[in-house]
Structure 1
């Protein structure tokens, strides 16, 4: 059995280096856009609710763009899709920097930017297995996953001071520049990667979506991998309840930042350790147990422990959730090449929906109980659901192995 690929093998691939650079530039751009627009809206209106709504608008479009627009990357040269999306985002964000635009127009532009990002991400996800063979693909996926977590962690901390220093207009122009730079990097460093599909005339949004959804549903492995990703709806509860939990334990609002940072920090480390220390086949066997453990790690939060213990539990939950990078890699590799872009968009939309619904419902429960109780209840439900997903995933894996070796 082949051992784990090394990072130097992955970084030796020029196209991967270009994809990673583009990924990092996109993260910087996304974070700057979120913070700058939230600050701009708050400065104009003085309304925390509208500022929060502006931030939420950056997540909602993936629910639509993921399933419907991601298939564009399966029917057009994927490099061209990435470049076109980057240039479109650069133009839209640059337009946002025009002084005096109405808040309604800014909101519409923000939604458009996020919608255009869906086919970009799908095309990149579809290219990755073509440039990284064998276990290098899983390690490369882990690098992108870790970069995203670190980017979110740093973005939350550095985005606001940068916007305060430069002003929202300049921050948005820099944001537009990151997307333009990403387009240049992709054009220079990534091959064309023509589409695999032979039916480009089929309507992309509905025809391709129905076909891909049916494909994911029929394949038990894909179905359980999507279900596994959806468990984030249960262990994301501390993200939505960080501020009220900090208030419950008397730690103050500032302590909520530590709770928020603990999850992505632990997740980044977990993805690195899993791909660095565990061989490929063992990783996939561990997906089920790790999915259960990720939710179970939050059960002690029901006791409303102090800040240090709570941060430790959130970090442990994040560390165990590092298996998500392996789930994404396994899902992408399992989907036929002709459907990879749209399947990735569909899975991402399901994940975002689960995350949003979970956070919202945990907040409702916290209203009638306490934040610590709500987190623990969702952790318990997630643990039980995770057990079912783990059993189903193991059976699907065993059936596939038996079918290929029998």
Structure 2
């Protein structure tokens, strides 16, 4: 089956994909509930844009350290077992955060602890997807996963803001998040095959010394992989509106309910963009990746004028639409990495993405202490666009080299019968 021939129904016909999709979607909704609750809780207690951004960023920063140590477990053990274990750990930690009257410093520690295993789960899930969806279904499946992940974020941000504003209880929202991880663990345990990783056969990975660091060395030693990873990491400049939504809403005279709407705006655009790029051919995907990355920061730069809520929502949604370049870059990255190294390489790239998002949010929060939140967002957007261009030229991302042919996996899904 060619990439162009794969259809949405072909992807949803695969039972294991449905399990991964449902588990991730409902868990993501709970995550966004928690992020809205944390943002409002910290801003209400401190009235500080910097502290609000710092605590929010704490959900992204820890993977920089934990990815090299943990992601390799998904290249050594059953990827199903890895995902289930991570979901159970996060359920316990988020459940502790839901306990009333938890002091803010302890809450921050729990946020960091719950974020530490993120790269392990992400690496195991992404490494499993090409085996569940071989042939042309992989590109479509990645787009579906990205878009529905965005829909889950929209639902979580919007409903989370409404629930907190209506009940005044962020702890209830955190309890819902903890429950979502338990549901995800159950779905994965009984709906997915073990998916043991293949032995390392790639010569470059075989020469890499040190199991945990082999993924980093593989990516750093390959110009294409490093360039694609760096381009993905520029998204850290484009995600800052999520962390700055609360202080920005106050700047334009809006209340708590608007915070969830602002947080969801760029995600709406990413959902639409992800669906639009789902069935693009290989050549067109590569030609569009860099232009979309550059365009993602331009609407954020227009936020410098602090327009009203409706105009801001449109601008941030357009930025999210262009941010669908992430799907294009991630698909090409995964296709270039052999299965036996996939979790470690993906874990490193995913940790870099999460860390870039956290650093972007911290930088925006620091800037907002010296300038209006609207200006801080605009500066970050412009920096991201310029960074995308610099990376594209430095690593030659406009080339037409093709991906490696993936090795056959012993437990792949059977090809679709036409």
TM-score (norm 2): 0.80
Check conservation: 1:67, 1:343, Cα contact below 8 A: no
Query: Aligned to 1:336, which of 335, 338, 345?
Result: 338
Structure 1 residue 340: Cα displacement: 1.5
Query: Aligned to 2:319, which of 317, 326, 333?
Result: 317
Find the counterpart in structure 2 of residue 193 from structure 1: 195
Find the counterpart in structure 2 of residue 202 from structure 1: none
Q: Which whole-Å CA distance do the structure 2 matches of 1:93 and 1:305 have between them?
A: 36
Cα separation, partners in 2 of 1:234 and 1:96, compared to 1, 3 Å = closer
Q: Which whole-Å CA distance do the structure 1 matches of 2:262 and 2:29 have between them?
A: 22
Q: What does 1:81-96 align with in structure 2 at a 5 Å threshold?
A: 81-96=82-97
Deviations 1:358-389 (A, max 9, x none): 33334444555555544444444333332233
Residues 1:262 and 2:286 are matched in the alignment: no
The SS at the match of 2:60 is: coil
Check conservation: 1:135, 1:280, Cα contact below 8 A: no
Structure 1 residue 28: Cα displacement: 3.1
Structure 1 residue 334: Cα displacement: 1.5
Q: What does 1:8-27 align with in structure 2 at a 5 Å threshold?
A: 8-27=9-28
The SS at the match of 2:277 is: helix
Deviations 1:80-107 (A, max 9, x none): 1112222333344445555666655554
Q: Which whole-Å CA distance do the structure 2 matches of 1:166 and 1:378 have between them?
A: 32
Check conservation: 2:392, 2:398, Cα contact below 8 A: no
Q: Which whole-Å CA distance do the structure 1 matches of 2:169 and 2:371 have between them?
A: 41
Find the counterpart in structure 1 of residue 213 from structure 2: 210
Query: Aligned to 1:285, which of 284, 287, 297?
Result: 287
Check conservation: 1:292, 1:383, Cα contact below 8 A: yes
Cα separation, partners in 2 of 1:85 and 1:166, compared to 1, 3 Å = farther
Q: Is 331-340 or 75-84 further displaced after alignment?
A: 331-340
Cα separation, partners in 2 of 1:364 and 1:178, compared to 1, 3 Å = closer
The SS at the match of 2:117 is: helix
Q: Which whole-Å CA distance do the structure 2 matches of 1:296 and 1:42 have between them?
A: 28
Root-mean-square deviation (CA, aligned residues, Å) is: 3.5
Find the counterpart in structure 1 of residue 409 from structure 2: none
Q: Which whole-Å CA distance do the structure 1 matches of 2:155 and 2:403 have between them?
A: 45
Query: Aligned to 1:229, which of 232, 253, 257?
Result: 232
Cα separation, partners in 2 of 1:101 and 1:383, compared to 1, 3 Å = closer
Structure with greater proportional helix content: 1
User: How many equivalent pairs are there?
Assistant: 393
Q: Which whole-Å CA distance do the structure 1 matches of 2:115 and 2:250 have between them?
A: 33
TM-score (norm 1): 0.82
Structure 1 residue 215: Cα displacement: 0.8
Structure 1 residue 322: Cα displacement: 1.2
Q: What does 1:60-139 align with in structure 2 at a 5 Å threshold?
A: 60-97=61-98, 105-139=106-140
Q: Which whole-Å CA distance do the structure 2 matches of 1:394 and 1:342 have between them?
A: 24
Q: Which whole-Å CA distance do the structure 1 matches of 2:196 and 2:37 have between them?
A: 36
* Structure 2 unaligned residues grouped into runs of 5+: 202-208, 406-418
Check conservation: 1:287, 1:390, Cα contact below 8 A: no
Check conservation: 2:290, 2:397, Cα contact below 8 A: no
Find the counterpart in structure 2 of residue 203 from structure 1: none
Q: Which whole-Å CA distance do the structure 1 matches of 2:183 and 2:342 have between them?
A: 26
Structure 1 residue 259: Cα displacement: 3.7
Check conservation: 2:237, 2:381, Cα contact below 8 A: yes
Deviations 1:103-127 (A, max 9, x none): 5555444433322333122111110
Residues 1:149 and 2:159 are matched in the alignment: no
Q: Which whole-Å CA distance do the structure 1 matches of 2:376 and 2:100 have between them?
A: 43
Check conservation: 2:55, 2:108, Cα contact below 8 A: yes
Cα separation, partners in 2 of 1:309 and 1:92, compared to 1, 3 Å = closer
